[in-house]
Structure 1
Amino acid sequence: MIRVLLPAHLRQLAHCEREIAVDAAATQRAVLDAIEQQYPALRGTIRDPRTGLRRPFVRFFACEEDLSHESPDTPLPAAVAEGREPYLVIGAMAGG
């Protein structure tokens, strides 16, 4: 089971807790597919539904590493796959 932490605006949209658990293979694509399957209201909010690419102001982190630019099929760190560390979906901020 992979633990996923979602930002407040996505939790509110999906009507879910801060941390959710998904049963998925240990890749970003599989985890995001499972989230969208479990919480249909999130479809299109994290990834573009046409391209499958992450939205510009969404970032992915695990084990203190930015995974946002990694291939969606790259295996997640072992600590995430084993449920010891969470997979974080973060809303990025812009400004200056």
Structure 2
Amino acid sequence: MVAATSPVTNILFSVVFFLLSLILLINLGYLIGGLSGRSLSLKTKRRIKIVAAFIVITAMFQSSQSLNWISALTLLILAAGFLFYSDRRGAG
């Protein structure tokens, strides 16, 4: 859907598409994590949300043709930082 429309000219389709993509990725992460039979910890849920958000952000950059190697490296460093921070953050 986004490949057929330009994100600049028709922003509503892009917003809906990326929001649905984020919801799908979060639910897919919960499904894959829940297949083990245990309940997911708060840390695992937080990591799933961070990874899903950065996948969607990368797809947004890619669809607007503004993802170069510097942007990708910056996103990778930010994702690693957020994952590290979520690991160190307290449960409360």
Do these two structures clear the TM 0.5 threshold for a shared fold by scoring above it? Answer: no
Q: Which has the larger radius of gyration?
A: 2
TM-score (norm 1): 0.23
Relative to its length, the structure with more strand (as a share) is: 1
Higher-RCO chain (CA-CA 8 Å, sequence separation at least 6): 1
TM-score (norm 2): 0.23
Relative to its length, the structure with more helix (as a share) is: 2
